[in-house]
Every structure is written in C-alpha cells, then in structure tokens.
C-alpha cells in the first residue's frame, strides 16, 4: 500500500481527477451498452471502468479535500456524460432538462471556483 501511496502522491491532482472521471464515463458508457445488450463481457467492462474511477479518485483525497475533489470530479463526469449521451447514444433533452443541466453545471463551477 505504501508504494501505491508514494506513486499516487507524485501524480498531479488534476491528472488523477481526469483519469477518475474518464473511468466513470467509460463505466457508464459500458453500462448503457449493457442495458441495450446484457452480456457479461459488457458488464465486466463497466465494472472495470468504475473500479478505475475509484482507483484514481481515492489518492486525490490524500492532498485535497473531499468537497473540492468531488465537485471537480462531478464536473468532469457531467461533461463526459453529456457527450456520451448526446453524441454516442443520440439521446435528446427537453428544454427543461437542458435548463436543469445548465443550472447544475453553473452551480458546480461556482462551488469549484469559490473554494480555497
């Protein structure tokens, strides 16, 4: 465990959060594919994405607080989820849903920029 901690502390927090966000985005992407075609291989791919997310997220807490890392991680994830949902899966949002998403993103940006 000590070796993992030493290596993780050398990786910049933004890189850890980007890798973690990428992991959860991949996890959700494969989970969506699984919902369309429930096969074990797709399920396992989703779980690996979620595991990778935690693997990179947890070390960020060694150097930064829970609130700020969670807000930044959420922003990265939301942007990725929007891209995957809208571009890859061709999902559509109503005007009210778009407004809700925008308010959510703006509120997280406000939180992230006013901390520390």
| DSSP assignment letter at 37 | S
Tokens 């609130």 -> residue: 67
Please state, in angstroms and rounded to a whole number, the distance separating the CA atoms of residues 75 and 94: 21
The predicted model gives 89-110 an average pLDDT of: 92
**Spans of all domains in the chain:** 2-114
The string of pLDDT tens digits covering residues 35-70 is 999 999 999 999 999 999 999 999 999 988 898 899
Q: What is the pTM of this model?
A: 0.87
Please state, in angstroms and rounded to a whole number, the distance separating the CA atoms of residues 112 and 116: 9
Tokens 């942007």 -> residue: 79
Please state, in angstroms and rounded to a whole number, the distance separating the CA atoms of residues 77 and 107: 15
């Amino acid at each position: 465990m000590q070796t993992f901690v030493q290596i993780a502390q050398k990786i910049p927090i933004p890189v850890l959060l980007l890798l973690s966000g990428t992991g959860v985005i991949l996890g959700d992407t494969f989970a969506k594919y699984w919902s369309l075609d429930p096969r074990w291989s797709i399920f396992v791919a989703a779980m690996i994405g979620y595991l990778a997310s935690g693997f990179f997220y947890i070390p960020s807490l060694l150097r930064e607080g829970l609130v700020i890392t969670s807000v930044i991680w959420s922003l990265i994830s939301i942007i990725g989820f929007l891209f995957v949902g809208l571009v890859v899966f061709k999902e559509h949002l109503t005007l009210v849903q778009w407004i809700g998403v925008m308010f959510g993103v703006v509120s997280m940006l406000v939180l992230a920029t006013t901390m520390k």
